[in-house]
Amino acid sequence: MQSSWRLMFFMSLASCFTESSEAIPGIPTTYAAILRLKSLSSSYSSRTRQRSSSPPLGSISSPSWHGAAAQQQQQQHSPTNLYHVSEAFKHDESVDHGPVFIQEPDSVIFPVDSDEKKVSLGCQARANPAPTYKWLRNGTEIDIESDYRYSVIEGSIIINNPSETKDTGQYQCITTNMFGSILSREATLQFAYLGNFSGRTRSAVSVREGQGVVLMCSPPLHSPEIIYSWVFNEFPSFVAEDSRRFISQETGNLYISKVQPSDVGSYICLVKNTVTNARVLSPPTPLTLRTDGVMGEYEPKIEVHFPYTVTTAKGSTIKMECFALGNPVPTISWRKVNGPNPSKARLRKSQAVLEIPNVQLEDAGTYECKAENSRGRNVFRGQLQVYTYPHWTERLNDTQLDSGDQLRWECKAIGKPRPTYRWLKNGTPLWPESRIEMVNGVLMIHSVNQSDAGMYQCVAENKHGAVYTSAELRILASAPTFLASHLKKTIIITKGQEVAVECKPQASPKPTISWKKGDKALRENKRITVLPDGSLRILNATKSDEGKYVCRGENVFGSAEITASVFVKEPTRIDLSPKRTELTVGESIVLSCKALHDPTLDVIFHWTLNGQPIDFEKEGGHFESIRVQVSSADLMIRNILLMHAGRYGCRVQTTADSISDEAELLVRGPPGPPGVVIVEEITETTATLSWTPGADNHSPITSYNLQARSPFSLGWQTVKTVPETISGDMESAMAVELNPWVEYEFRVVATNKIGTGDPSAPSRVIRTKEAVPKTAPANVSGRSGRRHELVIAWEPVSEEFQNGEGFGYIVAFRPNGTRGWKEKMVTSSDASKFIYRDESVPPLTPFEVKVGVYNNKGDGPFSPIVVICSAEGEPSAAPTDVKATGLSVSEILIAWRHNKESVGRPQGFEVGYWKDMEQEEAAEKARTEGNESSIILTGLEGNTLYHLRVKAYNAAGYGPPSNAVRVATKKSPPSQAPSNIMWIQDGSHVSLGWEPVRPLANESDVMGYKVLFRQEGHSNSQVIETQKTSAVVLLPDVGVYIIEVRAVSEGGDGTPSSQIRVPSFSGGKVTSSQSSLHTFSTSSSTVTFLLVLMVPSTSW
C-alpha cells in the first residue's frame, strides 16, 4: 500500500513538474513552484547501440556576469532531455545488457516559500536484468533507509520537506545490474528565496543641480537572479530610463548623469525574484538639491561598465552595460575593436546596453564603450570570451573480447576550452595500472580477463560542464563449439578443382586447430595447406584426395570436432550446337545442349540469353525448354524476333561442378529506324533532308522512303523526292512538291529484302517559305440578298494553299455585256461572301463575276467567270384578304391571299398573334413554307380575343405586314358529363338514354352528343353522333363492350360520362321476355323510370 501511494504521488508530482517547466515568468508562484533546469541527458552507444551523456545546460554552466539570468530563465522554461536508446534493445527486451540511462536528473530550483512540500529528481535506466538505484549528494551516498524524508520510486528520488541547509548540493544517480554500474551527470538542487531590505532609514542624498548622482539599492539576500526597478515618490510611479537615467541590472543602482530640479523626491528600489516572482521594496532614499550653486559642465565619467573579461556560452544572449555621469548629458557609443560590430547586435536603453543574441565564436573579441559630451570623452574596453560545452564527436561502443585480447576504446569531444578526459568503471574512477593506459581520451587494457568486464564511462569536461558516454565490456570464455549444420559435411568435386573445408569453431580464447585424414594426422604439402583461419585447402584435387577429413578445435576450456567427406568425380563436359546460325524474322530453331558427366551425379540445365536467365513464362511463347533425355536439353525458339538475337548460353550444373557454353544467333530482319533526320535546306516547295543509317539487321538496306506530316494531312504521307528512288547507300534526299508556308515534320523509313522497318523519329517542325498563291476559290455563286444588292459567295481557300501571310480575296464583277471590271479587296482569309450594294441596280440584273486570291508575295489566279444576278429583294406587298375563324377552344384558322405582282418572291409567310390585353411586341410567331395561304394556330386559350397579322418573307428579309384582324377562340366545352345513363339490352342492340347536359355561362352550348363504344381489350372506338339524349348501339361481336357518352359543342367535346360495361350475346331472335332494364346513375339522387317494353325489335 505504501509503495502504491508513493507511485501515485510521484506521477502526480511529475505532472506538476511538466506544467511548471512550461510556465512563463510572471505567472503566480503556485504554477511555477518547481522549475527544472533541463539538460542534455545521457545517451547510449554500443556495437549495435551507443551510450552517451551530454551536458546539463543548467548544471554545467556557471553563468558569468549579466545575461546569465535571461539564459537561466530560458533553460528553466525550455527543457531539453536528449538521449539515445539502442534500437536492438527496443525491439528485443529479452537480450541481457547493462544499464542505459533513459532519464537523468535535471537541476531544480525549489522556492523556499512554495506550497509544495516535496521535490523530485528523475532517474530511469533500461537494463536486463532490471537495475537498482542509489543516489549521491556532493559525492556521498544518501542513506535512504535512515532518513524518512527520502524515498526512491522507479529510480527517481523524492525529498519530503526539503531543507536549504541539508539538501542544497550536487546530486548524482547510480544504476546497477549484474553487468555493472553507471553514474549519471550532476544535477544541482538550489533553493529560491528573496530576503527583506534592512529597515534602517536611508540618509538623504543632496547634490547640486547639473551634478551626477548614484543612488545605491543594496539588495537583500536572494537566490537566484533578481530584476531591479525604481519607484519615484510613490508606487506605482516607476522611474523611466532614458539618456539621463539608467538602472543597472548588474548593481541594481540608479544612475542620474545630470540632476535636474524635477528629479527631487523620494526613491525606492524594488527587486523581483525571477523564479518566485516575489517582490520587496527598499526604504526610501530622499534626493535634494543643494542651495550653494549650480554644477558647471564637466567631462563624462563612466560610472557603470561591463567587466574587463566577460564570458558567455555559445548560443546565449549577452547584455553589456555602460553608463556615464556628465554635464552635458553624455552620449554612449559602442564598437568592436578588432572587427565590425555583429550585425545582429542591438542597442537598448538609450544605447547604454549592447545586446548580442545567439552569441557565436566569431562574436568574441574586445568591445569598447565610449561616453562623450562637449567637455570631453571617456572610454572603457573589455574582453568578450565565448565558451562552448563539451560535445561528443566519437562515443563508446559496447564491446565483446576474448580473454587475453587487448581493449582499445577512444572517445572524442570538442568544446572551448578544450575538454579533458577521465574514465569510470562501474561508477567509480578508473586509474592507470600495469595493464591499463589512459591518454587523451584513449583507454587501453592489455590482456583482458574476467575482472575487466563491466560498465565503463568516458567523461569529457571543461570548466563549463561535462558529458558522459558509456559502454559495456564483456569478456568471453567458452569451449569450442560448431554449428550443428557443420558437424558433418559431404563435399563433391571434380578432378583438378580446389577443395575448401571450413573449420571455424566458436570459442574463447581462440582455439588451436588440427586436421586428420581418416585416423592419421594430415600432412601439409604444396597442394594441401591449413589456412590461418583454420580452414583446409586442397589444390588440383585427384582421386587420392577422397576420404574423411576431421577438424579439431581445442582451448583450455575443451575441444570439438567436425567431419567432412570428400568425393572426387570426373569433370563434366558440354556439347552445344549449332554454334552460329543466321535466321530470318519469323523462322524457328532448336538449340541442342548435351552433357557428358559422371553417371552418379544429377544434371540440371540452365538457359541464358546475353547472360540473363530466360523466363519461359514471360517470353510470349517464343521459348520452350525440351528435356527428352537425362543428359541433354533442347531450347526451341519459335517465330523468332529481332530482339531474340544474341548469345545463348547453356549451363550444365551437377553437385560437383558447373560448366557452360555459348552459341551465337544472328537474326535478319527489316531495318531498324534511321537516325536523327535533319532539315538541311528549306524552300517554298522543297526540303533537303539528311539522316544517319539505322541497323540493317544483317540484311543490307536497299532503299529509303521519305514521309511528311502537316496539320492538313491525314497522318504521315509519302512525298515525292529527288532522286525519285533513294537507294540504300544514300543518306540525303530532297522532298519536292510541298506546299508553301506550311509546317512540316519529316521522317525516313528504310527497306531491305526482308521488309520495311520502323520509321525514324520525326524531324523538328519547320515551315516552308512563302510564295504567291496558286489556288483560286471554287464554287463561286450568288446568294439571296436585299434589293439593290449583289451577293457573291465562294468556298474559302484552305490554309494549306494560302502560301503565305496576308492572304485575302479579290472580288471582280461587271454588269453583263460591259467591259471594265470593278474589283474589291476582302482581307479576311476565312471570308466566303461579299455583298455589293448599289441603289441603281435593278433586281435580277445579271453580272459577270470572278474571285481571285493574293498574299504578301503577290496576286494569284482568278476563278472562272460565272454569271450571277442581283437580289430581287424582300417581298414588297403585304398579304390581302386576311380572314380568321375560331375553330375550337384552342384553335384558330387564318387564311390570306398573296399579291403575285409583288417584287420579291416569298419563301413563306409568318403569322404573328397576341392576346387582346398584350402588346404586339410580345406576339408569338407561326410560319408556313412555300405558297401555303392558311394555317391553324393551336395551343391557344379558350374564350380569348386574339389579334393577328401576316407578312411574307424570303432570304432577303420580311415584307410589310397585313392589317390586323381580330378573332376569339370558342368557349370551353361543357364541364358537366352526361348523367343518369340508362340502357336496355335486346340481343346485340343496346338502347341508351341520359339526362341532357346544362352548360355553364362561360361554356359552349350543347350541339349534340357522341356515343363512343369499343370492345374490351381494343383501343379503337366507334362513334355514333346524335342531337337527342338517346341512342341505339349495335354490338356486332360477342364480348364485353365499353360505352361512354360526351356532349358536343363549338368548344369541342365535353367531359365523358362514366363508362358502361355491356356484354354482347349471340343467338336467334330476341323476345320481349329476354329484354332487361338497367339504370346507371352518376348523380347522388335516384331517378326511377317505368318503361313498358312492348316495342318490337325492328323499331330499334
pLDDT digits (tens, 9 = 90+) for 177-188: 999 999 999 999
- The candidate with the shortest Cα–Cα distance to 593, out of 641, 659, 639, is 659
The rounded distance, in Å, linking the Cα atoms of 603 and 796 is 80
From residue 456, give the alpha-carbon distance in Å to each of 450, 461, 569.
Answer: 14, 16, 57
From residue 1024, give the alpha-carbon distance in Å to each of 56, 118, 1015, 1027, 1030.
Answer: 116, 115, 15, 10, 11
Burial class (CB in 10 A: 0-12, 13-18, 19+), 934: middle
Share the mean pLDDT of the chain. 84
Number of other residues whose CB lies within 10 A of the CB of residue 612: 9
Residue 397 has pLDDT above 80, yes or no: yes
Considering only residues 877 and 735, tell me which one the structure prediction assigns the higher pLDDT. 735
| Average pLDDT of span 313-338 | 94
Q: Strands 1039-1049 and 1052-1053: what pairing?
A: antiparallel
The rounded distance, in Å, linking the Cα atoms of 746 and 678 is 9
784 Cβ neighbours under 8 A, 6+ residues apart:
791, 871, 954, 955, 956
All three cell numbers of 816:
453583263
198 Cβ neighbours under 8 A, 6+ residues apart:
218, 220, 283
**pLDDT score, position 1065:** 67
Helix (H) / strand (E) element for 4: namely: helix 2-21
Residue 95 has pLDDT above 60, yes or no: yes
Residue 484 has pLDDT above 90, yes or no: no
pLDDT digits (tens, 9 = 90+) for 226-276: 999 999 998 888 999 999 999 999 999 999 999 999 999 999 999 999 999
Q: How confident is the model at residue 922 (pLDDT cuts 50, 70, 90)?
A: confident
Q: Which residue has the cell 506521477?
A: 11
Strand partners, 606: 651
Does the predicted model carry a pTM greater than 0.75?
A: no
**pLDDT score, position 255:** 96
**pLDDT score, position 93:** 63
pLDDT digits (tens, 9 = 90+) for 928-984: 988 888 999 998 888 889 999 999 888 778 889 989 999 988 888 888 889 888 989
| Average pLDDT of span 624-630 | 86
Helix (H) / strand (E) element for 445: namely: strand 442-445
The rounded distance, in Å, linking the Cα atoms of 1 and 796 is 104
Residue 279 has pLDDT above 70, yes or no: yes
Number of other residues whose CB lies within 10 A of the CB of residue 870: 23
pLDDT digits (tens, 9 = 90+) for 46-94: 333 445 444 433 333 333 333 333 333 333 333 223 233 333 443 356 7
Strand partners, 371: 332, 378
Strand partners, 304: 323
Q: Which residue pairs from 602-606 have beta carbons closer than 8 angstroms and sit at least 24 positions apart in sequence?
A: 602/654, 602/655, 603/572, 603/630, 603/631, 603/652, 603/653, 603/654, 604/652, 604/653, 604/654, 605/633, 605/650, 605/651, 605/652, 605/653, 606/649, 606/650, 606/651, 606/653
The answer to whether 567 and 538 are in contact (CB under 8 A) is no
Residue 866 has pLDDT above 90, yes or no: yes
Q: Which amino acid is at 57?
A: L
Residue 7 has pLDDT above 70, yes or no: no
Strand partners, 514: 552
The rounded distance, in Å, linking the Cα atoms of 615 and 607 is 9
The rounded distance, in Å, linking the Cα atoms of 552 and 693 is 70
The rounded distance, in Å, linking the Cα atoms of 703 and 688 is 17
Considering only residues 985 and 220, tell me which one the structure prediction assigns the higher pLDDT. 220
The rounded distance, in Å, linking the Cα atoms of 928 and 934 is 8
Q: Calculate what percentage of the chain has a pLDDT beyond 90.
A: 58
